[in-house]
Structures are given as structure tokens and as C-alpha cells.
Amino acid sequence: MSELDKELEEIEKSKAEKNAKKVEYTPVNSRPRITIGIPTRNRYEYLSLILWSILEQTYTDWDIIIIDDSDPHYDITQIPFIFPMLMKIENSENSWKSIKGEAKGPHISHQKILSMSDNEFIFRVDDDCIMDKNCLETLVLAMNSETRIGAVAPVIVLPHVKREHQTQPEKWHSIEQYFGKLIERPNGAVDSYGELQWHYHRNNNYKKAEHLYSSFIYRKSAALGIGGFPRDLSEVGHTEETDFTYRLHLAKWKLYVIPEAILWHFQAPKGGIRDDKKSTNDPKELWDKDRYRFLVKYHEYFKKGLLRQSIDIGEIKQ
């Protein structure tokens, strides 16, 4: 091969590397079995939709754990629109479990799923969602691309909003540097920007984030290493997924939003794992209490040099 040919080969190689997704590849099990964890409360009709969506996935190696906080609580095998899907799951050689929850909030349910999972990869998913058919396949491929990835998340879109209104605006030139981070607002409150997850993107490169929202796949070993989900929140569990994934980030695990993985979020108007109707407490009181705890905790992180900016908690009352 001539020197010119070698030079041209190097140029083509360089172009290919630039066009590749910016995640190093480490050979690992290409089709690991995953746990799909679904906390739910008082909306069995939506639970049936996420089960249907899982059955439609191109990725078929999974086990389902449902933590049911519903009140009244029903045996889901006796619910006509859920029972056929449970039978189909069993016929697919996959497994499902439904456990009556403690009704103490999403963080408690997710900690239970973490402790029960026999698999390294766990998909934390809300009960009022459906996925594009290749969503799980795309997320698992991303998780498998590097051993230091702690969690990956799909893009979350709303079915009642037109696509052009959910696409990353052209003006967001610095989206990788700015959004998907924890920063301080002018009023001193912590803002957990999640626009990385809540918009379609103009290219399919993985997007680095500091925290994730709603639904994502994470590593069990990484979760155990940071102590799992926070246990000191109220029954509405405000900030639990931001807290959990940001602690993964602080522990040097990489987090990515995967633009090719699409999840549709219905934002159901009733029920849900944060349903405050299960408490006699003032709902606003519960949210404010969790917010205060979150701010105090992250102010401590700042003092330890783990957070870039100080957080003003002076005017926030417990």
C-alpha cells in the first residue's frame, strides 16, 4: 500500500470514528435478561397498556415485577383486561410477579424492585406509558456498549402534542453542555433540567446527562453501590428519580439519553405512584417537605465540593 493510500485510509477511518456514537464499546453479554419494574396505583387500565407494550417489544428477554399500591387492592389475575396478557407472558417463557406495595411512595416501591431483581439491568418504568417496539432493544444495546454506563433513558414524548412541538429547538446549540444538568435558578432553587429526555433530537448521538427522569434502565450493581433509592421521602416521593440518578453521576457512572429509544407518556389524570389521595396530610406539605430535604442534601454536596453551585435554602421552610 502506497503512502497516499495509507493517508486516505486514515482519513476515512477518522471520518468513521467521528460519525460513530460517542460511546466506547466494551464487549459484554449482548442479550442480558432484564427486570422491568412497574410500581402502580389505582389505574389498572393503564397497567394493561404497559404490559401490552412490553409484549410487543422486539427485545424478549425480561422478567416483570409489579408493585401494586392500589386501594382497594385487587388480584390482577381476576381483572378481565389484564389476565390475557399475564397468560401471554407465561406462554412467552418470561415471568411476572405482582406484589402488594406498602403505599409509602415510589422510592419504597423501586427499592423493593431493586432488592427482588435477579438481573443486573433493571428498567424503571412508569405505569402510564407505552413504548415504540424497538425501545427496549435500543436501550439494552446502549447499556451494553460500555461497562461504565450506569443508566440510559429513552426520549419521552406526549401522545397528545404534535411532533414539531416536541423537537429540540435549533437555538439549543449547547444542549449537551447545559440541559440534563442540576443547576441553580436565580431564586436559589435547584432546577433539574430534563429537556434532554422530553424532546425529539435532531441526531441520534447519545446525549450525556447528569440525571434522568421517569423511565430508564440502570445497573443493579451501580444502584447498590450508591445505597439504592432514597428512603427518607414522603409518600409522594418528590424528586426520587433525580436524586437516584444524580448520585449515580456523582459516583462516576455515565448517564445517557438515547434519542432512538422512544417512550410515550400519557400523564394519566388519576392514580399513579405519587397519588397524594392516599394520605390525610396536606399534599402541598408533603411536596414541600421532600423539596426541603432535597435542597438540604444537595447543599451538603456543594459544601463537600461535589456540586458546582451553592444552593440557597435560607427562605425554604421545613
Residue among 171, 121, 137 at smallest CA distance from 57: 137
Q: Is the pLDDT of residue 295 over 50?
A: yes
Q: What is the pLDDT of residue 179?
A: 44
Q: What is the pLDDT of residue 25?
A: 37
Half-sphere exposure of 214 (CA within 13 A, CB side): 25
| Local structure of 36: helix, strand or coil | strand
Pairing of strands 95-100, 62-68: parallel
Please tell me the predicted confidence (pLDDT) of residue 210: 83
Asked if pLDDT for residue 16 goes beyond 60, the answer is: no
DSSP 235: T
Amino acid at 97: K
Confidence of residue 82 (pLDDT cuts 50, 70, 90): very high
Give the helix ranges, DSSP H, for the chain: 3-19, 44-55, 83-91, 106-116, 135-143, 175-178, 220-225, 240-250, 283-303
b/e per residue 181-205 (b: at least 16 CB within 10 A)? bbebeeeeebebbbebbbbebeeeb
pLDDT in tens, 127-136: 999 999 999 9
Nearest-angstrom CA–CA distance, 207 and 109: 28
Least confident of 24-28, 126-130, 150-154, 238-242: 24-28
C-alpha distances (whole Å) from 38 to each of 9, 73, 91, 154, 273 are: 49, 16, 20, 16, 10
In this prediction, residue 133 carries a pLDDT of: 96
Kindly tell me the burial class for residue 15, based on how many C-beta atoms sit within 10 Å of its own C-beta (0-12, 13-18, 19 or more).
Answer: exposed
Positions of E strands within 60-192: 62-68, 95-100, 121-124, 129-131, 149-157, 182-184, 190-192
Q: Domains in the chain, start-ordered, CATH in brackets?
A: 32-303 (3.90.550.10)
* DSSP reduced 3-state for 68: strand
Write down how long the chain is.
Answer: 318
Taking all residues of the chain, what is their mean pLDDT, rounded to a whole number? 79
Instruction: Compute the radius of gyration of the chain from its Cα atoms.
Output: 21
Q: What is the pLDDT of residue 198?
A: 80
pLDDT of residue 271: 57
Between the alpha carbon of residue 217 and those of residues 253, 297, 308, the distances in Å are 13, 25, 26
CA-nearest of 80, 116, 98, 107 to 236 is 107
CB 256 within 8 A of CB 208: yes
What the block records as the C-alpha cell of 224 is: 447498590
Question: What values do phi and psi take at 257, rounded to 5?
Answer: -100, 135
**Between 178 and 267, the higher pLDDT residue:** 267
Which SS3 state, helix, strand or coil, does residue 78 take?
A: helix
pLDDT in tens, 85-127: 999 999 988 999 999 998 888 899 999 999 999 999 999 999 9
pTM for the structure as a whole: 0.80
Q: How confident is the model at residue 195 (pLDDT cuts 50, 70, 90)?
A: low
C-alpha cell at 196: 434532554
**pLDDT score of 49 more than 90:** yes
Position 263 scores a pLDDT of 95
